[in-house]
Every structure is written in C-alpha cells, then in structure tokens.
Amino acid sequence: MLNWLKKCFWTTLPPEVIKAKQLLKAVDQGGIPLNPIKVNFIARSLGLEVSKSAPMKETIERIRRVTRKVAKDF
C-alpha cells in the first residue's frame, strides 16, 4: 500500500535534472568533465542556450543555477 501511495503522490525529478545533478556531484567531488559536448547537451536539455565556444566552467555554473531552481519547485 505504501508503494502505491508513493507512486501516486511522490513526484520525481525529470531525467534531465537527474543527469545534471549527477554531473554536478561529480564536479563537486573533484572530477573534471572531459567531454564538453555532454555538458552542453545536458545544459540544452534543461532549456539553456549554449554556444559551442562557451567556457565549460560557465556552463556548469548555469546548470547549477537551473538545478537549484528546479529542485525548489519539487
């Protein structure tokens, strides 16, 4: 019964937000993303416009701001 209630009322984060949070967790633990294409893809999936020449550090900070905002809404 408890599992059924969780499915009905417990909202989960969208998959793109989950991927963004995983990226941020890895960065916070000292990891450096080696593929800027993946970082840009995550940013675009969150609705951000990202230039191919945008610095990765700046893009990660923008992702961080969006995930904070989305997490507050859930």
Q: Residue holding tokens 């610095």?
A: 55
43 part of a folded domain: yes
pTM comes to: 0.80
pLDDT tens, position by position, 38-59: 999 999 999 999 998 999 999 9
Report H helices in the chain.
2-9, 15-28, 36-45, 56-73
How many domains is the chain built from?
1
7 part of a folded domain: no
Mean pLDDT of residues grouped by 10 in the chain (74 residues)? 59 86 94 91 96 93 93 69
Q: Please, are residues 20 and 13 in contact by the beta-carbon 8 Å criterion? A: no
- Tell me what pLDDT residue 45 has: 96
- Tell me what pLDDT residue 3 has: 63
65 part of a folded domain: yes
How many residues would you count in the chain? Answer: 74
Structural domain boundaries, residue 63: 13-73
